[in-house]
Chains A and B, each alone.
Chain A
Amino acid sequence: MIDSTKRVWFITGCSKGFGRVFVEALAARGDYVFATARVAQTLETLRALAPDRIRTTALDVTDLASIERAVATCIDAFGRIDVLVNNAGFGVAGPIEAISDAQTRAIFDTNFFGSLNMTRAVLPHMRARRKGHVIQVSSSHAWGAPPGLGMYSASKCALEGASETMAKEIEPFGIRMTILQPGPFKTDFLGAGLQLADRDIGDYASLSHGIGDAIEANHLKQPGDPLGVARAMVEVVEAEQPPLRLLMGKIATERARSKIEQVSGEFARWEKLALAADFAA
């Protein structure tokens, strides 16, 4: 029988980056963690941190059967899931036109469908207990991205769009939803895991060059501390009234503010035309 005063966290994408830091931080708090990644071997050192409270398993969020098995294994081990953290995801860099249909579907498969299917697999267990918290690890780029990160932004926008409404649908069951929107954080996001557009279109040569330069300038020099996100996540889960969205990092707040200002300004400038589209009263 596990300690009912501690939470059970189910986390995807734990081999590195945010996921790994989340597991380390939560284990240190004495919570139970079900840590998953595509390759189980990458989780061995995590399991060793607290073998009685951390369980690990291989999980590919793009595979429905894999999701089903992992959730069942977690319920078997811990009896419940208090918090689902949909963290598994990766980036694609390049002009949208230069990203093939196959590559587009692959990023949506993980970043959107993966998180969505994980949520659908865990919700029945949370509804049965009339409590739970789903955390979507999104991105400040859901507020908009510069040229080159549009497809990544799109995958996160899709996730946020679904999550925002889902939040209202699951609220009556005592289940909470929070979308984390990190800015640039010191992880491997811009490293080996970052895919580049798989097509080469000459007209975008200068932009592609700029993208490459920006990636190099930022990789492992990002100002964000993943531990800060882990701490914030705990605070959000413990809050009486958690936010729907939480920006993480100063640059994230600047991006969001800039987008809000731009949208507000444009809305004001074109409001008259907007209002002229209805049938006369």
Chain B
Amino acid sequence: MNAIDNIGRKVAFITGGNRGIGLGTALSLGREGVHVVLGARDEASGRKAVAELAEAGVQAEYLRFDVADAADHERARDYLDDKFGKLDILVNNAGIMLETPETEFNQKNTTSVVSGAALRGTFEVNFFGLVGLTQVLLPLIQRAPAGRIVNVTSILASLNIHATSEDPRLPNHRQFAYNASKTAVNAFTIHLAKELADTPVKVNAAHPGWVRTDMGGPHAEMSVEEGAATTVRLALLGEDGPSGAYMHLDQPLPW
């Protein structure tokens, strides 16, 4: 296909789109006719993902991209601007969790022991990288007729839930650096949504669910396709959809 075949087609940039929920999102969006650009650090897996998507009839491409590298933000912007002149959908999906059983941290609650390095490392990717990229791409998103920004956070970003929920699984998931970084992204989501309230751009946060990915592990509840559902929904919102919402599927979550 060429530029003529892409007239009117939406373009999505998915960070961490080479695997996990990012790849699942790419597949679902691609099936809706969206042209997806996968941003990821690993070229081999990025190209493999593009090939898999092509086999599923999805038009996709790979862009070498590290969300923690500000120079990559500009490179991504220039690439998307040159090629498409706009960006319809930004899926801020790339994220890391540095607190794992493989490190010296106790998996359950890391608050008193998590190192400054782990905290900073987590925030560098999950928060500073995400915010910086979104700021750099915003002018391109505003050029689209109905820009959509989806921040993949987590139910673990919810202060309300940590404070009040009796869910027996929760005590195993107080990874402070990860959770706090996601809470910070939730803050970014509301603040940006308010700033853009009078524009066609919508900004929302997605809790994917517990998903069987490298991060979620093989015992998680949801498949990748199910896990991508919330993100896809928020990426394809119609004109009357929400902005500044924090959602799991069609359910709002408490902040």
Please give the residue numbers on chain A whose beta carbons come within 8 Å of chain B beta carbons, in ascending order: 146-149, 184, 206-207, 209-211, 213-215, 217-218, 223, 251, 254-255, 258, 261
Contact = CB atoms under 8 A, between A and B. Distances in A.
Contact of B4 (A146, A206, A258): A146
Given A206-B144, A206-B145, A261-B57, A255 B8 contact: no
B7 A214 contact: yes
Given A206-B144, A213-B85, A146 B5 contact: yes
Interface in B1-46: 1-9
A211 to B, nearest CB: 6
Interface of B: 1-9, 57, 85-86, 144-145
7 contacts: A146-B5, A147-B8, A206-B144, A209-B85, A214-B7, A218-B3, A258-B57
B55 to A, nearest CB: 12
A184 B57 contact: no
Nearest to A217: B3
A210 B7 contact: yes
Given A184-B2, A213-B3, A218-B3, A207 B57 contact: no
Q: Which 4 A-B pairs have the closest CB atoms?
A: A147-B8, A206-B145, A146-B7, A214-B3
B2 A251 contact: yes
A111 B2 CA distance: 24
Given A206-B145, A213-B85, A261-B57, A149 B4 contact: yes
A218 B4 CA distance: 7
Contacts of A147: 7-8
Contacts of A258: 1, 57
A223 B6 CA distance: 16
Contacts of B86: 210
From B1, B4, B57, B85, residue with most partner A Cβ within 10 Å: B4
Nearest to B57: A261
Given A206-B145, A213-B85, A261-B57, A255 B3 contact: no
A213 B85 CA distance: 8
Contact of B8 (A184, A207, A215, A251): A207
Contacts of A218: 2-4
Contacts of B5: 146, 251, 255
A99 to B, nearest CB: 15
Contacts of A149: 4, 7
A255 B2 CA distance: 10
Nearest to B7: A146
A26 B187 CA distance: 70
A148 B3 contact: no
Contacts of B6: 146, 214
A148 B8 CA distance: 8
From B6, B7, B9, B86, residue with most partner A Cβ within 10 Å: B7
A207 B145 CA distance: 9
Contacts of B3: 213-214, 217-218
A228 to B, nearest CB: 17
Given A206-B144, A254-B1, 12 more contacts: A146-B4, A147-B7, A184-B2, A213-B85, A214-B6, A217-B3, A218-B2, A218-B3, A218-B4, A251-B1, A251-B2, A261-B57
Contacts of B57: 258, 261
From B5, B9, B85, B86, residue with most partner A Cβ within 10 Å: B5
A19 B6 CA distance: 28
A215 B6 CA distance: 11
Contacts of A148: 7-8
A218 to B, nearest CB: 5
Nearest to B85: A213
